[in-house]
Amino acid sequence: MASQFAPLIFLLYCLFLHQSCLQLSEARVRNLQKEEHGDDHLRLGVENGDVIDPEMNVFFHHNDLVIGNRILIYFPRKDRSASPRFLSREESESIPFSRSQFPEILDFFKFPSDSEQAEAMKMTLHHCEAKPIKGERKICATSLESMLDFVQAVFGSGSKFQVLNTEYLTESFSPLQNYTVREDPSEIPAPELVSCHRLPYPYAVFYCHAQAGDTVVYKDLLEGDDGGRVDSAAICHMDTSEWDPKHAGFRVLNTRPGAAPVCHFFPVDSLVFIPK
């Protein structure tokens, strides 16, 4: 199996080169405390009454991706050189990774129990140990090997797949601004896919989940009002009838479960696996 995945492992590893230890702002820790299930968009809620966090401007309507259309989007600035690296499977499996072992984990990384890093790590472990929603398969991948094993378990052993992600084509841009759709979006039907979202931890941990459903994935070129360009990956969930009515997407898009598709852009540090 190792030889089969060698080129893909090398490609994915290149995404995480030159990465170091976790640094978190107080704002990010507060956001983590508000999220019941971290970056899982199927569970993300909005609090504080009618106030919507600017970071929730990742959702859009299915008919918004039209050449020339302008969409208000939040793309956070990400310094990949400051992101944690993947450990090997052997390294990651030698380190405790559960809430029941949290004191041992803090001792291993030498983080005070009242530190921002400790709070973020606790939320990540909560996220990873939460029960999956109906029809969902999930894993917290702590190595590239475990990530690829999960993808193969979902798609079938020996299956071929492609990896999509959002890329910043310019280094400097405003995180929240209007973006113009510059090209006709590439539409990729995806009845089955695996999404992997980075979680805060001293080494790379990705929450990967799969759920069968009527979904469409898009790749598109966006240009911000300040000239910043983004090669974006996005997804539209065509059937939201089973979603939590408090889901942030319904609030942002002013809709309700089952009434209309909910679409969102992927952040730059997420990966989307689709069968070929």
Q: pLDDT tens digit string along 195-223? A: 999 999 999 999 999 977 788 999 999 99
Q: In a 3-state reduction of DSSP, which class is residue 51? A: coil
pLDDT recorded at residue 243: 83
Tens-place pLDDT, residues 84-132: 999 999 999 999 999 999 999 999 999 999 999 999 999 999 999 998 8
Q: Which among 144, 139, 155, 208 is positioned nearest to 2, based on CA atoms?
A: 144
For residues 227 and 270, give the distance between their C-alpha atoms in angstroms, rounded to a whole number. 23
Residue 254, both tokens: 């002013």
φ, ψ (nearest 5 deg) of residue 248 = -60, -35
Residue 47: HSE in the Cβ half-sphere, 13 Å Cα cutoff:
9
pTM: 0.77
Contact 150, 234 (CB under 8 A): no
Q: Where are the domains of the chain?
A: 2-275
Distance of alpha carbon 44 from alpha carbon 57, whole angstroms: 13
Question: How many whole angstroms separate alpha carbon 204 and alpha carbon 195?
Answer: 15
**Which region holds residue 48: left if phi is over 0, alpha if psi is between -120 and 50, else beta?**
left
Here the tokens at position 72 are 């208000």
> Using the 8-state DSSP alphabet, how is residue 81 labeled?
G
CA 154 – CA 161 distance, rounded (Å): 11
Q: pLDDT under 70 in the chain at which residues?
A: 1-52, 80
